[in-house]
Structure 1
Amino acid sequence: MAIRTISAAELHRKMDSGESLFILDVRNPEEYQDWKIEGNQLRSINIPYFDFLDDNDALYADLPKDTEIITVCAKGGSAQMVAELLEQRGYDVSVLEGGMLAWSQFYVPVTIVEDENLKLIQFNRLAKGCLSYMVISDGKALVVDPSRHVDEYLRVAEQEGAQIEHIMDTHLHADHITGGPELAQKTGATYYISASEMQGSDRPYEPLEKHSMIQFGQVNVKVLAIPTPGHTPGSMSFLVNDQFLLSGDTIFVGGLGRPDLGGKAREWAQALYDTVFRTIAQLSDDVLVLPAHYADIQEINASGYVGETLGEIRRKNEIMRTEDRETFTETVANSVGATPPNYEDIVSINRGVLSVSPEKATELEIGPNRCAIHHT
């Protein structure tokens, strides 16, 4: 009998229902430690697939006989092999179809708010911790920070009966490939990004610096572009209807954007200080911050999305209250971790100066995001 397979969508449904799950990840320990499937009711252990080749009974000691075991590997092949061994020993087992590769391309759209003025949807690319947004008003839509799987946005826009007219990137992303230009090409929408992010590029775009306000829809949904340098020099945040700050990688629920990817950590940390204590300081505590990334599954709130009021972020996040410029600069500049793998290639692709195949794009994006500095 063939081993059962489970799709990424089915796995997420199980996770979302609160069902207790047991994941057996059979990749190399280094890969597992760097990036794995996480969830509140999920237990995960790592036993490399090659260990099972020795037919060692001790390997099976921690595997439950009364719970379904979901085997996971990079692309599905090794997990299938291990699953067959487990089934021979009487375990209830299934395989994550496509492995971490499939999981890395799975998106969850969640409605944050829907009222007479707008509908705001967050797209959560769970495996990457990447967040993107669609704002819909009067049959027109704005998409912010789209990832490269543009069919996800086209599908939702069609479901909502909305025409995508505006597409914005808050900054030049370093950990994933933007879908902005392709989505613009497929929809006829305008693609916006800061001109300072696109130096040396001949890719068509509309400079955000030319716009202090972008309005669409009969109800005049306002999208205010706020220059928020620090993560990258041309980072922008977008304030929607004075209520929702789409903050890119400038402010997170649990931290700030890393300022080191340009090799100027101290200089860009100084810019981030000005952003926090001059630009963002003018916004009220009840503004809802909606970032482009998150680093921990715990940041997904009870409503199913990643976001927090600016007041709560200020209260919980010590670095947001560190008004001494030198202390802030030292703390931020010295708190960066491992750089995103392949980030130079990804930046070049996003600037339009490098082209790669879809297969190569998938390979470049494998792994978690590393864009936040946490100071909770």
Structure 2
Amino acid sequence: MAVKTVTAEELRDRIQNGEPLFILDVRNESDYQDWKIEGNTVQSLNIPYFEFLDDEDVADDQLPDKNTPIVTVCAKGGSSQYVGEVLDGKGYNVASLKGGMKDWSQVYSDTLVYQDEKLKLFQINRLAKGCLSYLIVSNGEAAVVDPGRHTNFYTQLAEREHARITNILDSHVHADHISGGPALAKQHGADYFITTSDLQGTPPFEYKALEEHPFIHFGDVEVEVLALQTPGHTPGSVSFFINKQFLLSGDTIFVGGLGRPDLGGKAQEWAEMLYDTVFHQLNQLADDVLVLPAHYADKSEMNEKGLITAQLGTIRQNNQAMQTQEKETFTEMVASAASTKTPPNYEAIIAINRGEKVTGEEEATELEIGPNRCAVHHHG
């Protein structure tokens, strides 16, 4: 008899509700080490599928008691179904993740960051990839920042908030995921903003150049989006300063690190740009500004509300590179710390985001599989 399944959305809800969960991941060890399901109440164990083929009792001494919910996980849902059936036959409380990590890679969740009478700000977390995007709602209008390609999520969230999407902003040309910006703009008749220098040519979609629109107003006029030029991760990277309170920092500055400058093959040159950004652009901002990045590396960066955020002052204190004011030392540290592992398929993804390459749903899913690798982590 087939074991019961749990969808990626159901699994997300259980993790967000703080339910204790035991994940048995049956992919190869290297895949598991690279990229796995995490959460504050999640325990996980990796025993590759082929070990169960050799010995169905291989996991017995490492599993929890038979009342604890176990979810078996593999790449696409087949192997985990088999292992689930083995455990079900032994009396365990088990379900298999339908669609495996492939489906998990496409799940989003939203958390309210802040609200007052003028605006509501949501952080949207694509859990499997550590990609973060934002929805800002004001007076019936909404702006979306750094959207993923699954545009329905943003449309539904805006509808839930009784708002019309009028502005979409990308902080840079992303290397680890396909942007939903152009598609979302088309669907909603909204303006799409990105820097010209990151596009490197004329894309087949309409856009407004951020260098020509440093201030974007929508909803209540006090919702001011100031596009700060913050090159380093890419030459055209910008951060969005909302109402002088929130810095939506793209991949320039993270809760636990800085954007890696090596994806354009110019690590030294872009690291120097990043130095100027950190010590000349961002040093003007107060310590109590709340930083909201476009990525995070692991759940240690998540606070008790499930948000990835920190005050700029805290990040300055904890980040070794940001305390290194000597330019040569900083650039050397950042350029050399850029991990040798680049985001999977990043050249194809950049080409799609610039409009140079067209892709279908299946290929897009395959291209995006895996974690983001856009940060350089340097804790003090």
| Alpha-carbon distance, 1:242 to partner | 0.4
| Alpha-carbon distance, 1:53 to partner | 1.2
Instruction: Label 1:217 to 1:58 Cα distance change in 2 as closer, same or farther (>3 A).
Output: closer
Residue identity matched to 1:185: K
| Alpha-carbon distance, 1:201 to partner | 3.3
Alignment of structure 1 residues 56-67 onto 2, 5 Å: 56-66=56-66, 67=68
| Alpha-carbon distance, 1:90 to partner | 2.0
| Alpha-carbon distance, 1:56 to partner | 4.7
| Alpha-carbon distance, 1:21 to partner | 1.4
| Match for residue 247 of structure 1 among 246, 249, 259 | 249
- What is residue 359 of structure 2 aligned with on the other side? 356
- Asked if structure 1 preserves the Cα contact closer than 8 Å seen for 2:52 and 2:58, the reply is no
- Asked if structure 2 preserves the Cα contact closer than 8 Å seen for 1:223 and 1:240, the reply is yes
Q: Which moved more, 1:127-136 or 1:310-319?
A: 310-319
- What is residue 189 of structure 2 aligned with on the other side? 188
Alignment of structure 1 residues 192-211 onto 2, 5 Å: 192-203=193-204, 204-211=206-213
Alpha-carbon distance in 2 for matches of 1:54, 1:367: 28
What RMSD in Å do the two structures reach over aligned CA positions? 1.1
- What is residue 129 of structure 1 aligned with on the other side? 130
Q: Could you tell me the TM-score, scaled by structure 2's length?
A: 0.97
| Match for residue 279 of structure 1 among 267, 275, 281 | 281
| Match for residue 317 of structure 2 among 315, 318, 329 | 315
Gaps of at least 5 residues in structure 2 are none
Alpha-carbon distance in 2 for matches of 1:265, 1:36: 29
| Alpha-carbon distance, 1:218 to partner | 3.0
Alpha-carbon distance in 2 for matches of 1:346, 1:357: 12
- Asked if structure 1 preserves the Cα contact closer than 8 Å seen for 2:51 and 2:58, the reply is no
Alpha-carbon distance in 2 for matches of 1:333, 1:303: 33
Alpha-carbon distance in 2 for matches of 1:220, 1:282: 21
Which deviations, in whole Å up to 9, do the C-alpha atoms of 1:328-357 show, x marking residues without a partner?
Answer: 011000001110110000000000000111
Alignment of structure 1 residues 287-366 onto 2, 5 Å: 287-337=289-339, 338-366=341-369
* Number of residue pairs aligned between Structure 1 and Structure 2: 376
Alignment of structure 1 residues 1-376 onto 2, 5 Å: 1-66=1-66, 67-203=68-204, 204-337=206-339, 338-376=341-379
Residue identity matched to 1:228: T
Task: Give secondary structure in 1 for the equivalent of 2:337.
Answer: coil
Alpha-carbon distance in 1 for matches of 2:176, 2:72: 27
Task: Give secondary structure in 2 for the equivalent of 1:57.
Answer: coil
Which deviations, in whole Å up to 9, do the C-alpha atoms of 1:165-221 show, x marking residues without a partner?
Answer: 110100000000000000000000011100001112333211111012111113431
- Asked if structure 2 preserves the Cα contact closer than 8 Å seen for 1:117 and 1:219, the reply is no
- Asked if structure 2 preserves the Cα contact closer than 8 Å seen for 1:137 and 1:219, the reply is no
| Alpha-carbon distance, 1:304 to partner | 2.1
Task: Give secondary structure in 2 for the equivalent of 1:356.
Answer: coil
| Alpha-carbon distance, 1:87 to partner | 1.4
Alpha-carbon distance in 2 for matches of 1:202, 1:16: 39
Instruction: Label 1:283 to 1:53 Cα distance change in 2 as closer, same or farther (>3 A).
Output: same
| Alpha-carbon distance, 1:55 to partner | 2.9
Which deviations, in whole Å up to 9, do the C-alpha atoms of 1:84-118 show, x marking residues without a partner?
Answer: 11112222211111111111111111110110110
Task: Give secondary structure in 2 for the equivalent of 1:61.
Answer: helix
| Alpha-carbon distance, 1:315 to partner | 1.3
Alpha-carbon distance in 2 for matches of 1:327, 1:169: 30
- Asked if structure 1 preserves the Cα contact closer than 8 Å seen for 2:275 and 2:331, the reply is yes
Task: Give secondary structure in 2 for the equivalent of 1:171.
Answer: coil
Task: Give secondary structure in 2 for the equivalent of 1:122.
Answer: strand
Q: Could you tell me the TM-score, scaled by structure 1's length?
A: 0.98
